């Protein structure tokens, strides 16, 4: 973490912005205008946002500055411009999931994370683009067109939270929130060269997060550095009675331990990790192990035999849950309707017109996996494989405190590369999927560059609710990034 004396004149990190705004050094309005200027300059090339909330953000920044002027502390995220993935409900503000079927819908309530960001003094600057209903790994499956990678606009930002990753990478927001069902925060973070965290399942409330796969979905932050990710995660985590799967404990306690280092920490290398990582990514991972060993960590070999079956378990379980969750888009209660003479025809016409190709594919796959005669062979077996994976990880964590893997098998790929072959897109999630199945936390931290000078992310995995040791490892890697 930077000391106060070397804080830049115009702060860019969330921690620096909040420090400056709380101490009346910089106004929230100035901070916001700098970010809006960045948006004006490059959003046309990137398309990170579905909507930029210029008026709302200006009004909010003014409120923050007034609070500071009268001696009230606006909170730990005072004046920090934050972007929200457009699958988080914002009262009275369009929430589309980048789907035609929700076009025009204005939710009658705020997601809990939105309320908590507000209470922490953050300024929401806009809603970001995603793969429709968070189904995808490139943000190309958006009804409103793809988001492009700020490092190279011929390439994808990853997905499904590609807009949120790109918004931070491009300097449109100091932080953003995404959701991660199979890697949708960690993979785009890796491809855009920012920090991305999927917290322990139940650590952050899902109330107001439009459901994709309820037993896998989790909200988490994107930031420029590890300390900022801790700050944002602390602000949004903690029990919420509106989410029955919310863990009954207070906010995560991470920041205080960030600088503790990794001396004595057992860092696991998974010897039977599925193949598929490209040589540049594999080389950075090796260097990450070396860096942690230099910092005093003990590198241990562990096995997770069921790891490689995660993809299959995930792509049966997630579509099964999605087919159920997305049954609610029937043209009755929200968004889009195609009129027809009777309700059944109206459901059919609305859903056929409103959903994109990938969403339809997953709904059909999930419906099939759950249907009579196939339930035991597909969904039932997938749930047993899920248990196997959880048991194998628990055994690995007997021997290692954290595990390191690639976050994404490759650096950012070119637009259109994987759109014609759904299975090739699904393989992007190979290394991130297991932690959604088990509920354990995982994060991607930038660690040097790979082919074409594009960012590489290293993934750190930890047991449930052990975010603090995961973040300590990330902070150490951040201090030792290859130059």
Partner 1 sequence: MGAVALVVVSDRITPEAVAKVAKLARLSLSDDELEQATHQLSDMLDHFADIDALDLDGVEPMTHPTPIANVMREDVEMDCLDRDEVLAAAPAAEDGRFRVPPVVGLED
Catalytic sites, residue numbers: 85, 160, 184
Q: How far is CA 115 from CA 36, 253, 307, in A?
A: 22, 20, 37
| Min dist. Cβ of residue 458 to partner 1 (A) | 22
| Min dist. Cβ of residue 289 to partner 1 (A) | 22
Decide if residue 239 touches partner 1 (CB under 8 A): no
Residue with smaller CB distance to partner 1, 265 or 277? 277
Which span sits near partner 1 by CB under 8 A: 151-159, 229-237, 398-406, 437-445?
A: 437-445
CA dist 202 and 433 (Å) reads 17
The only residue of 62, 283, 340, 415 in contact with partner 1, by rule CB under 8 A: 340
CA dist 321 and 48 (Å) reads 28
| Tally of CB atoms within 10 A around 264 | 9
Which span sits near partner 1 by CB under 8 A: 23-31, 35-43, 135-143, 341-349?
A: 341-349
Q: How far is CA 470 from CA 200, 226, 441, 442, in A?
A: 11, 10, 8, 8
Residue with smaller CB distance to partner 1, 71 or 248? 248
Which of 433, 445, 446, 429 lies closest to 393 in space, CA to CA? Answer: 433
Which token pair is 335? 């968004």
CA dist 14 and 276 (Å) reads 35
Q: Compose the 374-403 pattern: x for residues touching partner 1 by CB under 8 A, - for all others.
A: ----x-xxxxxxxxx-x-------------
| Min dist. Cβ of residue 190 to partner 1 (A) | 21
The only residue of 7, 58, 118, 337 in contact with partner 1, by rule CB under 8 A: 337
Residue with smaller CB distance to partner 1, 69 or 332? 332
CA dist 315 and 389 (Å) reads 14
- Site residues (CB under 8 A) for partner 1, limited to 198-217: 201-202, 215
The only residue of 351, 445, 469, 470 in contact with partner 1, by rule CB under 8 A: 351
Size of the site for partner 1 (CB under 8 A): 74
Which span sits near partner 1 by CB under 8 A: 40-48, 100-108, 119-127, 187-195?
A: 100-108
CA dist 375 and 275 (Å) reads 30
- Site residues (CB under 8 A) for partner 1, limited to 104-163: 105-109
Please check whether residue 308 is in contact with residue 302, taking contact to mean a CB–CB distance below 8 angstroms: no
| Min dist. Cβ of residue 56 to partner 1 (A) | 18
- β-pairing, 195-198 vs 442-449, is antiparallel
What are the φ and ψ backbone dihedral angles of 132, each rounded to 5 degrees? -45, 125
Decide if residue 88 touches partner 1 (CB under 8 A): no
| Min dist. Cβ of residue 45 to partner 1 (A) | 32
Please check whether residue 145 is in contact with residue 114, taking contact to mean a CB–CB distance below 8 angstroms: no
- Provide the strand spans (E) within 102-236: 123-128, 175-180, 195-198, 218-223
Which token pair is 319? 């579509």
Decide if residue 311 touches partner 1 (CB under 8 A): yes
- Site residues (CB under 8 A) for partner 1, limited to 163-202: 201-202
Which span sits near partner 1 by CB under 8 A: 9-17, 61-69, 159-167, 366-374?
A: 366-374
- Site residues (CB under 8 A) for partner 1, limited to 313-332: 313, 315-316, 323, 330-332
CA dist 199 and 442 (Å) reads 7
| Min dist. Cβ of residue 19 to partner 1 (A) | 35
| Min dist. Cβ of residue 39 to partner 1 (A) | 27
CA dist 69 and 278 (Å) reads 53
Decide if residue 346 touches partner 1 (CB under 8 A): yes
Please check whether residue 29 is in contact with residue 67, taking contact to mean a CB–CB distance below 8 angstroms: no
Which token pair is 402? 């954290």
Which span sits near partner 1 by CB under 8 A: 175-183, 288-296, 361-369, 406-414?
A: 361-369
Decide if residue 423 touches partner 1 (CB under 8 A): yes
């Amino acid at each position: 973490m930077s000391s106060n004396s070397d804080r830049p004149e115009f702060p860019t990190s969330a921690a620096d912005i909040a420090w400056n705004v709380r101490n009346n050094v910089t106004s929230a309005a100035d901070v916001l205008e700098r970010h809006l200027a960045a948006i004006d300059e490059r959003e046309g090339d990137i398309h990170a946002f579905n909507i930029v909330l210029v008026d709302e953000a200006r009004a909010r920044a003014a409120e923050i500055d007034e609070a500071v002027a009268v001696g009230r502390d606006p909170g730990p995220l005072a004046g920090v411009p934050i972007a929200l993935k457009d699958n988080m409900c914002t009262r009275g503000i369009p929430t589309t999931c980048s789907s035609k079927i929700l076009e025009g819908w204005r939710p009658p309530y705020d997601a809990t994370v939105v309320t908590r960001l507000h209470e922490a003094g953050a300024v929401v600057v806009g809603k970001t683009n995603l793969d429709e209903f968070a189904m995808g790994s490139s943000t190309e499956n958006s009804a409103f067109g793809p988001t492009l990678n700020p490092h190279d606009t011929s390439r994808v930002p990853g997905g499904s939270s590609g807009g949120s990753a790109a918004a931070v990478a491009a300097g449109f927001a100091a932080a953003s929130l995404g959701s991660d069902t199979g890697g949708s925060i960690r993979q785009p973070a890796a491809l855009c060269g920012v920090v991305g965290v999927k917290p322990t399942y139940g650590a952050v409330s899902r109330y107001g997060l439009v459901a994709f796969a309820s037993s896998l979905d989790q909200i988490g932050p994107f930031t420029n550095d590890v300390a900022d990710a801790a700050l944002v995660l602390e602000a949004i985590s903690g029990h919420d009675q509106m989410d029955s799967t919310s863990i009954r404990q207070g906010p995560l306690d991470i920041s205080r331990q960030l600088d503790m280092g990794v001396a004595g920490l057992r860092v696991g290398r998974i010897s039977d990790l599925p193949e598929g990582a490209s040589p540049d990514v594999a080389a950075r991972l090796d260097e990450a192990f070396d860096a942690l060993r230099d910092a005093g960590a003990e590198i241990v070999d562990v096995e997770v035999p069921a790891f490689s079956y995660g993809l299959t378990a995930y792509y049966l379980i997630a579509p099964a849950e999605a087919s159920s969750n997305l049954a609610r888009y029937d043209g009755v209660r929200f968004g889009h309707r195609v009129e027809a003479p009777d309700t059944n025809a109206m459901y059919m016409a609305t859903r056929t017109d409103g959903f994109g190709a990938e969403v339809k594919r997953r709904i059909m796959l999930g419906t099939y996996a759950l249907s009579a005669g196939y339930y035991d062979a597909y969904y039932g077996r997938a749930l047993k494989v899920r248990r196997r994976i959880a048991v194998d990880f628990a055994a690995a964590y007997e021997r290692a405190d954290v595990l390191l893997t690639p976050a994404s098998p490759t650096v950012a790929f070119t637009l259109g590369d994987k759109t014609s072959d759904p299975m090739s897109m699904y393989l992007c999630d190979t290394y991130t999927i297991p932690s959604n199945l088990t509920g354990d936390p995982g994060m991607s931290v930038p660690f040097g560059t790979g082919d074409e000078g594009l960012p590489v992310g290293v993934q750190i995995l930890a047991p449930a609710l052990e975010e603090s040791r995961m973040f300590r490892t990330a902070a150490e890697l951040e201090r030792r990034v290859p130059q």
